[in-house]
Amino acid sequence: MANSRGFFRALSWANQLLSYQRPSWQCTSCKVTRSAAFRTSRRYATTSGEASNKPYYVTTPIFYVNAAPHVGHFYTMVIGDVLKRWRTLTGDNKARLLTGTDEHGMKAASAAGIDTQTFCDQNCKTFKDLAHAANLDYTYFIRTTEHSHKDAVQYFWEMLQHRGYIYTAKHEGWYSISDETFYPQSQVHLSLDPATGRKRMVSIETGKEVEWSSETNYHFRLSAFQDRLLELYKTGFITPEHYAGDVVKSVSSGLSDLSISRPVQRLTWGIPVPGDSSQTIYVWLDALVNYLTGAGYPFPPGGGSHLGWPVDVHVVGKDIVRFHCVFWPAFLMALDLPLPRNVLVHGHWTMNREKMSKSTGNVVNPFFAIDRFGVDTMRFFLTFQGGLASDADYDNAHIIRDYKKYLQQGIGNIAHRTIGCAKGKLRTYILNATSGNSPAQSHDMAYQSVLEQLATKVADHMEKLNPRAAVQEIMAVILHTNKYFHNSAPWENPDQKQRVIYNVAESMRITGILLQPFMPNKAKEILDVFRVDSSKRSLSDANYGSDADYGESIEKRIIFPPLVVEE
């Protein structure tokens, strides 16, 4: 269970912050107790100095540059960024996010009729542009054509070879040219090509066509790690657990040794096998090592933690689970390197309940979506509706619907009406409430309890690596706030209903803080509108009554204007 304990130790900062008893006001008239967030049980753990100082390290997959990015790439980027920004919100200013591009193989370059490196440079820029457009707060954008990565991969290979885990042998099996992968018989099946009606063998996992192939290359002794991998899966290594069953079943049925090189005649663009220029290192060994490269591998003696290793969370799509949950930990086990603490798997985006495919034209250009709806709207929608244990269906009408319900008529409406109802007295109402001079009725106390619990509930979801549940928790409170506001009708007599206006203002301050990882720009705008000091926007501030200093000279502002789009 060491891996599981390490994971919760790394993430428990959130509840520790929310448990901290900040010296602040307490309502003297109703003796309001501190929020449930402050009463959260503390999960303190003893750690070594090195482990406790390790930066929190999140990664996305590195994206293959053979084609333009689609909304699935965008979604993966956003999930990784939300996790990294959340960690920063807890006060970990050293948290790291790695993303980048896989530039191995590049058959597409020859098809395009241009120099391979030029092709890589052009398509890498597109993915980097997407990271910028998506407002990713990344630490390192890695490319597998970097010299530092080539050095890391070749050193990794040599260490595997030195330990006796690499050998040469003739390999026969089902080979996918598209995936550049051999598949065992258990992972292929006969399928009918919908376009031509032709029967063909395809990979069960990726749907790519395979052909029977025979060649001599290098192999990794993957079979030696079956028992250790099965033990690893018992620690909660794979999140959600939904995906662990298939992995356990596959590994339990037996592991064949893995072909980890290709003849240079077949694969010219890649990293050469050290000492054997006739062979090129297998794409997935090359690609997976990028996570080590981003942490400064090869590590100096006793090093590794200063740049975040081991990874705290790998964010991956469900189509690359086997590579990250079988091959990758086995490679690391072979060199006695610390294992990643968790692999967070997500489902795919579909259109009309069908898998997105360029050949059928049902793909979403993320740049167009960002231009049309705005980056924060897209970040919100993808996180709010994106599937982890299942796929999610993409529809512009759904984006418009959620924008109107939760953002425009939710947050935007609440903020606008709160400022209007206060009639320039919000600062006075805040001072009266925080000094105990603003009486609260039973429905005010019931609503206050909702706000008191929100930060803890959101933190619990984030500790379980469920950003979707976290943002849905926030939006549920937004809907509750609208109902509370409407039923309380403070506009009828603002001075007698100061507590209502204060409570609703608190909802904007607290949700604004909690939304920062999800909607960085709009969350900042909400907090700016209510004049929340920039030094009071961390997770420890997201508690009811913890800030009595905001609300000075605020003015109405339309935070979420109507979308100018065709429905």
Is the CATH number of domain 12-45+396-541 3.40.50.150?
A: no
Asked if 77 contacts 99 with a C-beta cutoff of 8 angstroms, the reply is yes
How far apart (Å, rounded) are the C-alpha atoms in residues 183 and 205? 10
pLDDT in tens, 1-48: 334 434 333 344 445 445 543 333 344 333 333 333 332 322 222 233
pLDDT in tens, 133-154: 999 999 999 999 999 999 999 9
pLDDT in tens, 372-408: 999 999 999 999 999 999 999 999 999 999 999 999 9
Do the domains 12-45+396-541 and 54-393 sit in the same CATH topology, yes or no?
Answer: no
| Lowest mean pLDDT, pick from 77-81, 171-175, 251-255, 301-305 | 301-305
Q: Is the pTM of this model over 0.95?
A: no
| Rounded average pLDDT over 479-494 | 94
How far apart (Å, rounded) are the C-alpha atoms in residues 443 and 435? 20
How far apart (Å, rounded) are the C-alpha atoms in residues 349 and 68? 16
The pLDDT of residue 111 is above 80: no
Q: What tokens were used for 473?
A: 């928790």
Q: What's the pLDDT band for 50 if we cut at 50, 70, 90?
A: very low
How far apart (Å, rounded) are the C-alpha atoms in residues 131 and 78? 9
Residue 474's φ and ψ, nearest 5 degrees, are -65, -45
The sign of the dihedral angle between the CA atoms of 308, 311, 313, 317 is: positive
Neighbours of 441 (CB within 10 A): 13
∠516-517-523 over CA atoms, to 5°? 20
310 prior amide bond cis, ω within 30: yes
Asked if 257 contacts 217 with a C-beta cutoff of 8 angstroms, the reply is no
Q: What percent of the chain has a predicted confidence (pLDDT) above 90?
A: 70
Task: Assign domain 54-393 one CATH number from 3.40.50.620, 3.30.420.40, 3.40.30.10, 1.10.357.10.
Answer: 3.40.50.620
For the chain, the structural domain boundaries read 12-45+396-541, 54-393
Asked if 70 contacts 366 with a C-beta cutoff of 8 angstroms, the reply is yes
Q: What tokens were used for 249?
A: 């079943």
Pairing of strands 272-273, 276-281: antiparallel
